[in-house]
Amino acid sequence: PDFSVSGLPGHLSVDWNGAKQYLVNFLDTVQKSSLAQNMYFIKSRSQIDSIHTVRVRDQAVKCDCPRNNATQGICAHSITLAYHLDLLEQHLVKWAPAPDNTMLEIQPQNAGKKKSERTRKRKSNQERNTEGYQDKRPPKPVIEDNEKFHLVYLNQTRSTICYGCHKQTRPDKRIEPPPHDMVLAIKIHRSFPVRSEPGGPITTRISKKKENVYFHIDKACVRKEFPGKELSNDDLVIDYTVSPPKLSH
């Protein structure tokens, strides 16, 4: 029959015409399976040595080719077999297109764009080429040349955790007697763990701006965060004008 009586949208005419060519050489292209009932094999015209499987169940004809899946159940193979089994009318009546997919098939490639707007060359699923670009933030915390460790009293800070050993600087929320009432402070791009979604993986991020981090007055704590770093007097800044906190009685 002519395509005009099929009731199918115009973009499926290519499948209708393809079915006509299959029917001309039906005996050479279609073969019934001996393994399962209501199963047929149809040779592909576009891909050499490729065979598509078409199944018939409850008068429904379904092909395994990508085209059949993209058009929600219509392809040259399914039309061919439906016509041969006298199920063409039922096959066409059962077909119901997905509106979104149909529009994608028939709409122009530049639909919705201005005449002067260029088509995007890079597809959204392609990875961006970052060669030649460098993140301005350090990949991990580092001590810059102009930064020093400042010896400060603990009560002048909000420190609760040592950035090196990750143990408390204020056990039981209290400040211990000297010399444990002081910490080493330094400004760096602080790293911190982030979970993007509940139950998702934990990733490490680096702060955009420098922030104060605090260490116990212990070289081992500093080395845990900065391996190979050996503190010396040149690394320390001590403000002798700051008086120690008064002891409470």
- Is 177 a domain residue? yes
Highest mean pLDDT among 57-66, 99-108, 201-210 belongs to 57-66
| CA distance readout (Å), 223 to 71, 185, 216, 231 | 63, 14, 11, 9
Res. 44: pLDDT tops 80: yes
pLDDT digits (tens, 9 = 90+) for 68-86: 888 878 899 999 998 988 9
pTM for the model stands at 0.41
Is 158 found in the same domain as 88?
no
Q: How many domains does the chain have?
A: 2
Residue numbers of the domain that contains 228: 149-238
202 vs 164 pLDDT, higher one = 164
Pairing of strands 236-238, 30-32: unpaired
pLDDT of residue 248: 45
pLDDT digits (tens, 9 = 90+) for 2-26: 788 778 888 888 889 888 888 888 8
- Is 202 a domain residue? yes
Percent of the chain with pLDDT over 70: 77
- Is 77 a domain residue? yes
- Is 193 a domain residue? yes
pLDDT of residue 138: 46
SS3 of the chain: CCHHHCCCCHHHHHHHHHHHHHHHCHHHHEEECCCCCCEEEEECCCCCCCEEEEEEECCEEEECCHHHHHCCCCCHHHHHHHHHCCCHHHHHHHCCCCHHHHHHHHCCCCCCCCCCCCCCCCCCCCCCCCCCCCCCCCCCCCCCCCCCEEEEEHHHCCCCECCCCCCECCHHHCCCCCCCCEEEEEEECCEEEEECCCCCCEEEEECCCCEEEEECCCHHHHHHHCCCCCCCHHHEEECCCCCCCCCCC
pLDDT digits (tens, 9 = 90+) for 176-228: 888 888 999 999 888 877 777 777 777 777 888 888 999 999 989 998 888 87
Domain stop point among 59, 94, 129: 94
- Structure token digits, residue 208: 């955009």
- For the chain, the average pLDDT equals 79
In which band, very low, low, confident or very high, does the pLDDT at 121 lie, cut at 50, 70 and 90? low
- Is 205 a domain residue? yes
